[in-house]
Structure 1
């Protein structure tokens, strides 16, 4: 994790991020154009400044051009988000993250050179949908076509040797790790004997994981 992060735009997303980062001991430089907001939440950042971030000169005066990691939390103001991101990209900041509120917004941010585009509302919605719609105890999306779930071991997989190649060939999922009662997590190996009291982590596409959770037979 970077030892210092510049967070531009301290709305709900930016403030939540700043709090978490400072909690981990990361120095957070918060920038927003709302002076009242910054005063109210000054303790959530190591340092902060009021500025129009669409102005490249204002960002240079604050040293953003020398930052190693910048997160742009501006979402609803599309013009400000794009202009700010364009400025940061032109500075050559090596690690740029930005929040997008729509597919079009995300596409533009990607096209101008933002390294990581975040869709927090959409991603949270997807995660909750998978948790509500399936038998997952937890779901994490690694990429648009790959995620991991935690679930109890289906009875069909209990007490027998699992053919991992066949499981992947037939269901396009693979078992990553297992946790037995009273033990910690450990890597799953082909000779692992699962029981119905075990928890397992399984990887695959969200669709395949949902299908497996509903019909776990090999």
Structure 2
């Protein structure tokens, strides 16, 4: 179930639908619901802050619910609270600020995303060095895709001792015109390689900083 059909909520619902999932989409605006009525399995106009209304549509039967409400902070918080009261196993919620995120977590959200902030950080990392992509999953875990640079080419990954020095793991290496393959300490880095690195955010940034220094 996806609640809130703004840009974020609609994008999530549409992506899940394209993957073959059946989606119950909910929004408080009947005009929005009518606009998307034919795109999802079911589309309902509903006040999601009303726990009883959520019960009536069978919200408690869903193990995962995405709350895409962002601009109306009160509705966002009350909706998450209502879902938590219904015992939803996984509540994913959109936040527009750090404070909003903290409140959502306190009232029952299991996963909080901040699309604008997350995208901004990803772009910043991509602009400032060898990183091709960067994704942070929570406050202390990240995965980066980064380019090999001349100073590390021709050397084996084991030489860098990434676990003890940076606390990160090089998960895979992509050769030119080839799929990603699992990395090992014996993997020799070639000039056109790309690396997938995971671990604590600070360690990933430090390791990727080594590559661009």
TM-score by length of 2: 0.90
- The answer as to whether partners of 1:8 and 1:74 remain within 8 angstroms in 2 is yes
Query: Is 1:75–2:70 an aligned residue pair?
Result: yes
The match for 2:26 is 31
Name the CA shift for 1:70/1:198 in 2 (closer, same or farther; >3 Å): same
The match for 2:131 is 136
1:44 to partner: Cα distance: 2.8
1:119 to partner: Cα distance: 1.2
Q: What residue ranges of structure 2 are gaps of 5+ in the alignment?
A: none
Moved more, 159-168 or 78-87: 159-168
Q: 2:174 aligns with which of 176, 179, 183?
A: 179
Moved more, 82-91 or 173-182: 173-182
Distance in 2 (alpha carbons) for counterparts of 1:99 and 1:29: 18
Deviation readout 1:166-190 (Å, 9 max, x if unpaired): 3343344432211223432111111
Q: 1:99 aligns with which of 94, 97, 112?
A: 94
1:209 to partner: Cα distance: 3.6
Q: What residue ranges of structure 1 are gaps of 5+ in the alignment?
A: 1-5
1:146 to partner: Cα distance: 2.5
Q: What is the DSSP-based 3-state SS (H/G/I as helix, E as strand, rest coil) of the residue aligned with 1:195?
A: coil
Moved more, 130-139 or 140-149: 140-149
Distance in 2 (alpha carbons) for counterparts of 1:9 and 1:161: 49
Q: What is the DSSP-based 3-state SS (H/G/I as helix, E as strand, rest coil) of the residue aligned with 1:163?
A: helix
The match for 2:50 is 55
Q: 1:45 aligns with which of 40, 64, 79?
A: 40
TM-score by length of 1: 0.88
Where does 1:9-28 land on structure 2 (aligned, <5 Å)?
9-28=4-23
Q: What is the DSSP-based 3-state SS (H/G/I as helix, E as strand, rest coil) of the residue aligned with 2:69?
A: coil
Query: Is 1:108–2:103 an aligned residue pair?
Result: yes
- The answer as to whether partners of 1:69 and 1:94 remain within 8 angstroms in 2 is yes
The match for 2:162 is 167
- The answer as to whether partners of 1:157 and 1:217 remain within 8 angstroms in 2 is no
Distance in 1 (alpha carbons) for counterparts of 2:49 and 2:212: 55
Distance in 2 (alpha carbons) for counterparts of 1:31 and 1:114: 18
Distance in 1 (alpha carbons) for counterparts of 2:155 and 2:125: 28
Name the CA shift for 1:195/1:165 in 2 (closer, same or farther; >3 Å): closer
Query: Is 1:86–2:81 an aligned residue pair?
Result: yes
Distance in 2 (alpha carbons) for counterparts of 1:120 and 1:198: 29
- The answer as to whether partners of 1:130 and 1:139 remain within 8 angstroms in 2 is yes
Moved more, 103-112 or 15-24: 103-112
- The answer as to whether partners of 2:122 and 2:134 remain within 8 angstroms in 1 is yes
Q: 1:194 aligns with which of 189, 194, 197?
A: 189
Distance in 1 (alpha carbons) for counterparts of 2:136 and 2:159: 22
